[in-house]
């Protein structure tokens, strides 16, 4: 309001018209509509701003994050909502872009008047949006798996309660890699925040197991051709540890196959490389027999617990982890459960603090920080978890799966303790 | 791996990107040379070619070569049709004014991109190569299809050269390029030449995309990189010069392949951009511009 008026003065308008404008603005603010809204807030829906990767390189993730969110919110609302109020999801597209992410946070707060913001995946968007969320003092529940929340470098409003972070993931899988695949590892990772987490935390994790990283190959995130990087893989490599994101992952795996043929090193990948990609795509035959980390299994497993079945049915996943409506529409199963679980944590925290409106945002963060043990069940279908309120990060079990006949079969499930590490920060001592 | 094989691999990779880049850039260069239109949507024609190739390939099951064959025939034709429509409906009505056409093609870029996102989707989809040979060299394995890409692109470039230099159509196009008014005075239907060149340029981009898509997958944002590189190539090579475009594409493609292998991909991009700056400063008409008259 003020800024507009200042501009108006600059444009040579008379003082009278400026005063009129200001008066009209004041009248608008105190208009009956606003008052009524404030009073009736208790029956208003709880508004959750969903920062969604609708477009840009994160779009396949965004689509499935959206579906999981819709399914979970439907269930929450059927069961009476949160504190008796229905949940309403407001979606804004961030284009998988850090700058737009921050704008979207601002729009959620100023225009949509949301209670909190949730749902971001890509680490650069999280890092770009977090400061704005902190400034506007709005809770920011991310489903990102980056280490940035747990690092303590964001602010007290940023929480990651539904998905484990990369540091915990690599620590969990390193012992298994060292004892089953080999000790000499070459790392291939995208050259930005998310890849750097892998770079920084995998080396100490594998060295602790008596292994070593023989080469590290950073690849620019915009790269579309990889053959030229492959000669950098030393001959004595036992295991290629690959984690790639973006549309070029198929090319990467295919070129790996062309380069090495049948006699190459073992492969261990993060499913991030192949989320939303059919494992039976041409060129991926090369992956047969290789291993992947999965946050949650994409393919229905024989010994799947009932709550996992319930979750898969609610989201609409078939046996192969594709949409029940279209078998070619492959899900991002390894990550998207995080949305479901985060929404239930939001519910739990809001109910614990008797959340009424934005004035209770701090109480809501404190209530989240107070959570520790999270039992497995329909609300947390990926499995049991432990939340560490000091670093706003959840810890859980990880799956290691092997590609067999074009399907992923879980061969090992790590324990929560495998992934735990000493916290490097304590958000609870920071001010709001 | 020793230096020799390493260098060989870098050269091969460089040649593949140079081949595809040359095809794409020749399309851009023709449009720029003949019509004076800076076609910012050129990369999107490339993307559309790839997406259509995926669509063609998904129409037929069985032998992937059949799908590829349909794609290489149909995809450039459809893209040419779209470009023709864009020329008739948009560019012609703007009288091909340079500033207006830049803005119009930027708009076209977004429209095509968002249509692809809406109807094709956001994921990268693979197209199977027509054949699946893997050539085992003593030091590393290499895709046989990539050799085919190099050969096919060279053949197409030769055909384009033949069209421009040895046929009546080429003569008319060159005449229009050199002096529009004079060509018109000699009863050349400049209007139709423009439409044809725009469609032809787009078809070349689509053709390049069909060739590359079995290596790189179709994705709705894939047009951005080729656009930038094509502009770099066209600026270095000289506007409207086929020879210059091919030489510049080889230069950029090979240096990109080799420098990014021995040093870093970022350095390769920096050097390419630096080269553009140097060319613009010291030889603004490009290394191989056919003559000062073109740069009006």
Q: Do B64 and A282 touch (CB under 8 A)?
A: yes
Which residues 6+ apart lie within 8 Å of A146 measured at CB?
Answer: A123, A126, A127, A165, A166, A193, A194, A197
Calculate the CA A99 to chain-centre distance.
Answer: 18
Question: What are the residue boundaries of the structural domains of chain A, listed by start?
Answer: 15-164+302-396, 166-294
Which stretches of chain A score pLDDT less than 50? Answer: 1-11, 29-40
Does residue B4 lie in a domain region? Answer: no
Fold match between domain A15-164+302-396 and domain A166-294: yes
pLDDT, residue A38, reads 42
- The CATH superfamily assigned to A15-164+302-396 is Response regulator (3.40.50.2300)
B87 touches chain A (CB under 8 A): no
Q: Tell me which chain A residues have a C-beta less than 8 angstroms from the C-beta of B1.
A: 231, 235
Per DSSP, what are the bridge partners of residue A414?
A: none
Q: Tell me which chain B residues have a C-beta less than 8 angstroms from the C-beta of A225.
A: 13, 16-17, 215-216
CATH class for the region spanning A166-294: alpha beta
pLDDT digits (tens, 9 = 90+) for A386-405: 999 999 999 999 999 999 99
Of A55, A222, A251, the CB nearest to B122: A55
Domain hosting B223: range is 16-125+135-282
Give contacts of B 16-55 with A, CB under 8 A: 16-17
pTM score, two decimals? 0.77
Phi–psi pair at A137, nearest 5 degrees: 55, 50
Does residue B57 lie in a domain region? Answer: yes
Cα diameter, chain B = 63
Does residue B296 lie in a domain region? Answer: no
B168: left (phi over 0), alpha (psi -120 to 50) or beta: alpha
pLDDT, residue A16, reads 63
Token digits for A158? Answer: 């940023």
Q: Do B222 and A261 touch (CB under 8 A)?
A: no
Closest-CA residue to A67 (of A321, A368, A399): A321
Residues of A with CB under 8 A from a CB of B: 55-57, 59-60, 62-63, 220, 222-225, 227-231, 235, 247-251, 255, 258-261, 276-277, 281-283
Distance CA(A137)–CA(A133), nearest Å, equals 6
Does residue B20 lie in a domain region? Answer: yes
B124 touches chain A (CB under 8 A): yes
B64 touches chain A (CB under 8 A): yes
Of B13, B64, B124, the CB nearest to A227: B13
pLDDT digits (tens, 9 = 90+) for A263-298: 789 999 999 878 888 888 777 888 889 999 999 999
Does residue B291 lie in a domain region? Answer: no
Which residues 6+ apart lie within 8 Å of A302 measured at CB?
Answer: none
Tally of structural domains, chain B: 1
Q: Which strands, in side-by-side order, build the sheet including A266-270?
A: A212-219, A184-190, A239-242, A266-270, A291-294, A399-404, A407-413
Which stretches of chain B score pLDDT less than 50? Answer: 292-296
Does residue B6 lie in a domain region? Answer: no
């Amino acid at each position: 309001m003020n800024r507009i008026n200042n501009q108006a003065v600059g444009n040579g308008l008379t003082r009278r018209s400026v005063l009129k404008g200001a008066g009209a603005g004041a009248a608008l603010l105190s208009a009956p509509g606003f008052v009524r809204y404030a009073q009736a807030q208790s029956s208003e829906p709880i508004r959750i701003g969903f920062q969604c990767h609708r477009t840009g390189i994160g779009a396949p993730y965004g689509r499935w994050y959206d579906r999981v969110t819709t399914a979970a919110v439907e269930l929450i609302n059927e069961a009476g909502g949160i504190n008796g109020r229905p949940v309403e999801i407001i979606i804004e597209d961030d284009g998988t872009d850090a700058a737009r992410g921050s704008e979207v946070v601002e729009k959620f707060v100023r225009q949509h008047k949301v209670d909190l913001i949730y749902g971001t995946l890509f680490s650069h968007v999280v890092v770009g949006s977090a400061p704005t969320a902190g400034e506007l003092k709005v809770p920011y529940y991310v489903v990102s798996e980056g280490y940035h929340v747990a690092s303590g470098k964001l602010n007290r409003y940023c929480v990651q309660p539904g998905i484990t972070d990369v540091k915990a993931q690599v620590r969990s899988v390193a012992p298994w890699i060292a004892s089953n695949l080999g000790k000499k590892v070459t790392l291939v990772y995208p050259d930005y925040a998310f890849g750097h987490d892998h770079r920084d935390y995998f080396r100490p994790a594998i060295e602790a197991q008596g292994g070593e990283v023989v080469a590290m190959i950073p690849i620019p995130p915009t790269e579309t051709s990889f053959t030229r990087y492959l000669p950098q893989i030393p001959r004595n490599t036992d295991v290629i540890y690959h984690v790639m994101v973006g549309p070029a992952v198929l090319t990467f795996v295919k070129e790996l196959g062309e380069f090495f043929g049948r006699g190459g090193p073992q492969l261990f990948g993060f499913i991030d490389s192949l989320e939303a990609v059919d494992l039976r795509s041409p060129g991926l035959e090369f992956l047969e027999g290789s291993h992947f980390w999965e946050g949650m299994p994409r393919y229905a497993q024989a010994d799947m617990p009932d709550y996992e079945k319930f979750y898969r049915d609610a989201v609409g996943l078939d046996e192969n982890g594709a949409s029940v409506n279209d078998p070619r529409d492959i899900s991002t199963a390894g990550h998207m459960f995080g949305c479901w679980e985060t929404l239930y944590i939001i519910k739990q925290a809001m109910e614990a603090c008797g959340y009424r409106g934005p004035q209770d945002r701090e109480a809501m963060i404190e209530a989240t920080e107070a959570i520790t043990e999270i039992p497995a069940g329909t609300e947390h279908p990926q499995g049991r978890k432990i939340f560490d309120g000091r670093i706003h990060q959840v810890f859980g079990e990880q799956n290691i799966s092997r590609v067999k006949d074009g399907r992923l079969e879980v061969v090992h499930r790590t324990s929560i303790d495998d992934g735990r590490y000493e916290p490097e920060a304590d958000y609870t001592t920071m001010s709001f | 791996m020793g230096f020799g094989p390493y260098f060989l691999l870098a050269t091969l990779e460089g040649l593949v990107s140079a081949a595809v880049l040359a095809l794409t850039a020749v399309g851009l260069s023709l449009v720029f040379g003949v019509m004076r239109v800076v076609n910012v949507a050129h990369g999107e024609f490339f993307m559309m070619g790839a997406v259509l190739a995926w669509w063609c390939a998904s129409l037929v099951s069985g032998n992937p070569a059949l799908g590829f064959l349909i794609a290489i025939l149909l995809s450039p034709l459809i893209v040419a049709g779209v470009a023709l429509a864009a020329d008739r409906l948009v560019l012609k009505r703007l009288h091909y004014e340079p500033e207006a056409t830049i803005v119009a093609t930027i708009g076209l870029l977004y429209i095509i991109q968002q249509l692809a996102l809406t109807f094709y989707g956001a994921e990268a989809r693979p197209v199977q190569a027509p054949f699946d040979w893997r050539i085992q060299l003593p030091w590393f394995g290499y895709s046989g299809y990539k050799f085919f890409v190099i050969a096919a692109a060279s053949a197409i470039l030769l055909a384009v050269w033949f069209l421009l230099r040895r046929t009546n159509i080429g003569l008319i196009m060159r005449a229009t390029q050199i002096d529009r008014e004079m060509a018109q005075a000699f009863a050349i239907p400049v209007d139709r030449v423009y439409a044809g060149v725009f469609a032809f340029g787009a078809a070349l981009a689509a053709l390049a995309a069909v060739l590359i898509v079995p290596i790189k997958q179709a994705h709705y944002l894939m047009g951005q990189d080729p656009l930038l590189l094509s502009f770099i190539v066209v600026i270095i090579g000289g506007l409207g010069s086929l020879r210059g475009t091919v030489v510049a594409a080889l230069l950029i493609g090979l240096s990109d392949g080799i420098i990014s292998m021995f040093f870093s991909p970022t350095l390769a991009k920096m050097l390419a951009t630096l080269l553009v700056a140097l060319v613009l400063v010291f030889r603004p008409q490009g290394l191989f511009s056919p003559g000062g008259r073109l740069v009006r």
